Amino acid sequence: MLGLWSLLLFCGLVTPCQGLLETVGTLARIDKDELGKAIQNSLVGGPILQNVLGSITAVNQGLLGSGGLLGGGGLLGHGGIFGIVEKLSGLKIEELTLPKVSLKLLPGFGVQLNLHTKVVMHCSGPLGGLLQLAAEVNVSSRVALGMSSRGTPILTLRRCSTPLGHISLFSGLLPTPLFAVVEQTLFKVLPGLLCPVVDSVLSVVNELLGAVLGLVPLGALGSLEFSLATLPLISNQYIELDINPIVKSVAGDIIDFPKPQAPAKVPPKEDHTSQVVVPLYLFNTVFGLLQTNGALDMDITPELVPSDVPLTTTDLAALLPEALGKLPPHQDLLLSLRVKEAPMVTLHDKKALVSIPASIHVLFSVPQGTPESLFELDGVMTLRAQLAPSATKLRISLSLERLSVKVTSSFTHAFDEMPLEEWLSQVVRAVYAPKLNVALDVGIPLPKILNVNFANSVLVIIENAAVLTVAS
pLDDT in tens, 202-255: 988 998 888 877 778 888 888 888 888 888 999 999 999 988 888 888 888 888
Instruction: Read off the pLDDT of residues 133-181 as tens digits, 9 standing for 90 and up.
Output: 788 989 899 999 998 888 889 999 999 998 888 888 877 776 777 777 7
Same domain (yes/no): 209, 329: no
Q: What Cα–Cα distance (Å) separates residue 256 from each residue in 50, 216, 225, 292, 295?
A: 40, 17, 13, 13, 19
Domain range for 176: 31-213
Task: Clarify whether residues 182 and 278 are in a common domain.
Answer: no
Q: Which CATH number is 158's domain given?
A: 3.15.10.10
* 180 within some domain: yes
Q: Is the pLDDT of residue 102 over 70?
A: yes
Q: Is residue 218 part of a domain?
A: no
Q: What is the pLDDT of residue 106?
A: 95
Average pLDDT, the chain: 80
The confidence score (pLDDT) of residue 245 equals: 85
Task: State which of 177, 196, 213 marks the end of a domain.
Answer: 213
Mean pLDDT across 393-415: 89
On the question of pLDDT at 293 being above 70, the answer is yes
* pLDDT band of 297, cuts 50, 70, 90: very high
Task: Output the pLDDT for position 48.
Answer: 25
**The domain spanning residue 373 has which CATH number?**
3.15.20.10
Judge whether residue 470 has pLDDT over 70: yes
Final residue of a structural domain among 213, 245, 265: 213
Instruction: Read off the amino acid at residue 14.
Output: V
Residues 35/239, Cβ–Cβ less than 8 Å: yes
Give me the pLDDT at residue 109, please: 94
Residues 413 and 288 in one domain: yes
Q: How does residue 261 score in pLDDT terms, banded at 50, 70 and 90?
A: low
Per residue in 108-117, pLDDT (tens digit) is 999 999 989 8
Spatial separation of the C-alpha atoms in residues 58 and 55, rounded to whole Å: 6
Give the pLDDT of residue 217: 85
Are 159 and 306 found together in one domain?
A: no
Total domains in the fold of the chain:
2
| Same domain membership, residue 261 and residue 165 | no
Better-predicted residue by pLDDT, 394 or 194: 394
Confidence grade of residue 87 (pLDDT, cut at 50, 70, 90): very low
Same domain, 265 and 206: no
Range in 28-37, 174-183, 266-275, 359-368 with the lowest mean pLDDT: 174-183
Residue 227, in any domain of the structure: no
Indicate if 201 and 283 belong to the same structural domain.
no
Could you give the angle at which helices 176-210 and 32-44 cross, rounded to 10 degrees?
110
Would you say residue 25 lies in a domain?
no
Same domain, 427 and 356: yes
Domain end marker among 213, 244, 270: 213
| 181 and 317 co-located in one domain | no
Return the pLDDT at 35. Answer: 93
- Looking at the fold, whether 283 and 411 belong to one and the same domain comes out as yes
Whether residue 169 is found in the same domain as residue 303: no
- Residue 322 and residue 188 in one domain: no
Domain-located, residue 54: yes
Asked whether the predicted pLDDT for residue 387 surpasses 90, the reply is yes
Q: What is the pLDDT of residue 260?
A: 66
Residue 233 lies in a domain: no
